[in-house]
Amino acid sequence: MQNTLNKPTGFTLVELVVVIIVLAILAIVASGKLISLRKNAIVSTMEGMETAMQSAATLTYSKATIAGVEKLASTTLNIDGTTVSLAYGYPNGTAAGIAMLMDVPQGDWQKRASVYSGAWVYWHGVINEDAGVAQCYLRYRQATSSTARPVIDVQTSGC
């Protein structure tokens, strides 16, 4: 019968160091993926908001055409009980225009008037600095004539 009390059991110091190094490498790789996923989530959400803005503008223009106000430089239109300011049939770039049509959760997204006249800006709430400085924003610029559509810019270089 063998004596098992004298047999060494457990891990050696070298084995423990190797395991710690492997875990550290895995943590570094995983953190890089998580940071990338955060940016991808913000960019994807902004692209979804861009599509929603385009749809809101198109539907508003359709209602303005039916009402016969699509050629006016400035007017208002009642859309489902909400008065929306228009520029050439599209929502204008103010709090009374496009911001009235976009149902964006407060806290998740910041919004303000742009430095450009007739433009409205949205940026994600995790970005602490101003959207223009951070270069991570969605900007809606109202139509400037009866033959022009609104311009929606998505800037993601600083997200």
Sequence ranges of the domains in the chain? 15-155
Residue 141 has what DSSP assignment?
A: E
Q: Hey, what are 59's tokens? A: 């539907």
Note whether 102 and 52 are within 8 A (CB): yes
Per-residue confidence of the chain (159 residues) as pLDDT tens digits? 555 556 667 778 788 888 899 888 888 777 766 666 778 888 888 898 999 999 999 999 999 999 999 999 999 999 989 999 999 999 999 999 998 888 776 667 888 888 888 898 888 877 777 766 778 889 999 999 999 999 999 998 887
pLDDT at 38: 77
pLDDT at 32: 67
SS3 112: strand
**Which residues, in sequence order, are bridge partners of residue 120?**
113, 140
pLDDT at 76: 96
Structure tokens at 77: 């239109």
Confidence (pLDDT) at 56: 92
Q: What pLDDT does 1 receive?
A: 52
Distances in whole angstroms, Cα of residue 31 to Cα of each of 28, 36, 51, 136, 159: 5, 9, 31, 22, 17
- Cβ count near 71 (within 10 Å): 13
Left (φ > 0), alpha (ψ -120 to 50) or beta: where does 107 sit? left
pLDDT, residue 2, reads 57
In this structure, what token pair is assigned to residue 123? 């940026």
State the number of CA atoms in the 13 A half-sphere of 148 facing the CB.
11
